[in-house]
């Protein structure tokens, strides 16, 4: 079954909000829309998300390029 190009796919899980923000900036600079979601239920009550609970999603059609960009970003850091 072919995946819809617009369907969101999990790209990565960040350790914290700072890491998620850096990754988002790298991807958005290249025109890739990024959706960030915290898997921590307490985050909706104003608590900082638990480490490793922040997930980044992109459209399925952008997944390959996004993985390449993040690979380049993490190698140069």
Instruction: Give this prediction's pTM.
Output: 0.80
Asked if residue 68 belongs to a domain, the reply is yes
Q: Is residue 27 part of a domain?
A: yes
Structural domain total, the chain: 1
Do the domain assignments include residue 16? yes
* Per-residue pLDDT reduced to its tens digit, 22-70: 999 999 999 999 999 987 676 666 777 777 789 999 999 999 999 999 9
What pLDDT is attached to residue 53?
81
Sequence-distant contacts of 34-41: CB under 8 A, at least 24 apart: 34/58, 34/66, 35/8
Domain that holds residue 14: 8-76
CATH number reported for the structural domain that contains residue 25 in this entry: 3.30.70.1530
Q: Considering the domain boundaries, does residue 1 fall inside one?
A: no
62 is a domain residue: yes
Residue 64, in any domain of the structure = yes
pLDDT (mean) for 4-14? 92
């Amino acid at each position: 079954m072919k995946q819809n190009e617009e369907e969101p796919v999990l790209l990565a899980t960040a350790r914290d909000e700072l890491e998620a923000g850096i990754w988002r900036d790298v991807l958005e600079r290249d025109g890739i829309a990024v959706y960030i979601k915290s898997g921590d239920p307490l985050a909706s009550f104003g608590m900082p998300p638990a480490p490793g609970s922040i997930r980044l999603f992109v459209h399925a059609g952008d997944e390959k390029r996004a993985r390449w960009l993040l690979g380049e970003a993490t190698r140069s850091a």
